[in-house]
Structure 1
Amino acid sequence: MNDAQAPIVPAVEVLAFDIFGTVVDWHGSIVRELGRRYPQVDGDAFALAWRAGYKPAMVRVMSGELGWTLIDDLHRMILDAILPQFGLERLGEEERRELNRVWHRLDPWPDAVAGLQRLKRKYLLCTLSNGNLGLLTRMAKRAGLPWDCVLSAEVFRAYKPDPATYLGVARVFDVPPDRVMLVAAHHDDLAAARACGLRTAYVVRPLEFGPAHPKDVAPQAGNDLHSRDLLHLADLLDC
């Protein structure tokens, strides 16, 4: 997969972006915030433990064990559960609430804003994240992320990889699924989108889980594009 593949996606109108890990650096942002607030805590371990609770919490919602629950609330449940592991069980309600809001303050990857600005010249840009609307909107405001539209699992009341999320983007913009391209740094997300008829672009984020935990970012068959970052994706899409 390389630059020569760009002509295969001429009909795409909408680029829908996964957010956590793809557009913003959740791990590095949490580590930096922990370093400022609680320097005695291992920020790397804390960030990984918090993120590790993410999928199990969503499974509880998807299975019906929990009713529909916003990611902000799931993050808070996970936070409350892990605080004792890191000697922070004495944090009061206001401190817990403010720490939980770190997910609203995640920093973009260095290429993200400039890459999105270039892509926006040619495509409609929207989020497609399990993050809730308030979280995504505050994040965009702070980081200068130039979305045309903020879409969330909250809109569809379903978490990715439920087909309702991917097909929901096509429905919102009144286009066939193959005119939407999901942009993500996670192959499972892209595979689920592809099963719904969307186009897919992989973004390499080898340090998503921090420099001590590099991940495999090798190309996988099926994706239309494989990009080094969002600036490279803009190159591939002639923006």
Structure 2
Amino acid sequence: MTTDKPLPRAIVFDVFGSVVDWRTSLIDELTAFGRERGIKADWVKLVDDWRGEYVPSMKRVYKGELPWTRLDDLHRASLEKLVAGQGIRGLTEADLAHMTRGWHRLKPWPDSVAGLTRLKTRFIVAPLSNGNVSLLLNMAKNAGLPWDTVLGSDIFGHYKPSPETYLGAARLLDLEPGEVMMAAAHNGDLKAAQNLGLMTAFFARPTEYGPHQQYDFEATGAWDYVASDIEDLARQLGV
């Protein structure tokens, strides 16, 4: 399929929830881990609450309550808080480190690898994520994500939706913002990118939060492309 719409030179992707299924991945891994270690906990609640700490922990950095902190370290601090609050006992330092690195081992959605592989034949493809570079590299190796480069938040010293992330991606790729497309399953991420002149593509992940999903079931903005998944985005872009 060919398109009459403008085409980007690079496509940068949100990762957590958009490219990888963080919730199912972590629930499956921690449930198996708890069984192997003989540690009882409500692992589903822990995973949901852990993700619930994601935005609040980054906001503390935005507000200056914390210095710049890698996402790995925010994840670890949130995990320690939740383990204590939920009364989960028997975890060693090695256990906590292993659990935190579970975010490095997230599984892709079924269409992600095939869709990215198709897009890579014509466009630069990269994550533009709040994850740190080492997290994203390990995730890519583990999940087979065929990125051309990795744009982690620690490169910019900022988390999305700070302008430094979106504009920094264009700068590092030596492109104008309008030559870069932000692709995500989150309308808010796309709005921030669009406001800075980037192209946008939306594809829904309606099961990202399981039964707790409250929004992002459909496109709510005037995005350049709206697709059913990453393979459909590739089709719309002519690859």
Instruction: With the length of structure 2 as denominator, give the TM-score of the two structures.
Output: 0.94
Give the C-alpha shift of residue 84 in structure 1.
Answer: 2.8
Paired residues of 1:16 and 1:128 also in contact (CA < 8 A): yes
Give the C-alpha shift of residue 215 in structure 1.
Answer: 4.3
> How many residues are paired up?
234
Amino acid of the residue matched to residue 158 of structure 1? H
Rounded Cα–Cα distance in structure 1 between residues aligned with 2:162 and 2:221: 22
Rounded Cα–Cα distance in structure 2 between residues aligned with 1:135 and 1:124: 20
Aligned pair 1:213/2:212, yes or no?
Answer: yes
Rounded Cα–Cα distance in structure 1 between residues aligned with 2:110 and 2:94: 31
> What percentage of aligned pairs have identical amino acids?
44
Give the C-alpha shift of residue 226 in structure 1.
Answer: 1.1
Rounded Cα–Cα distance in structure 2 between residues aligned with 1:188 and 1:61: 19
Amino acid of the residue matched to residue 236 of structure 2? L
| Counterpart in the other structure of 1:172 | 172
Amino acid of the residue matched to residue 32 of structure 2? R
Most deviating of 89-98 and 45-54: 89-98
| Counterpart in the other structure of 2:5 | 8
Paired residues of 1:182 and 1:198 also in contact (CA < 8 A): yes
Give the C-alpha shift of residue 101 in structure 1.
Answer: 0.5
| Counterpart in the other structure of 2:54 | 54
| Candidates 18, 28, 31, aligned match of 1:32 | 28
Amino acid of the residue matched to residue 5 of structure 2? I
Amino acid of the residue matched to residue 212 of structure 2? H
Q: Which deviations, in whole Å up to 9, do the C-alpha atoms of 1:112-157 show, x marking residues without a partner?
A: 0000000001100111000001100000001110000001111011
| Counterpart in the other structure of 2:18 | 22
RMSD: 1.5
Residues 25-174 of structure 1 correspond to what in structure 2 (within 5 A)?
25-39=21-35, 40-174=40-174
Rounded Cα–Cα distance in structure 2 between residues aligned with 1:71 and 1:20: 12
Paired residues of 2:182 and 2:199 also in contact (CA < 8 A): yes
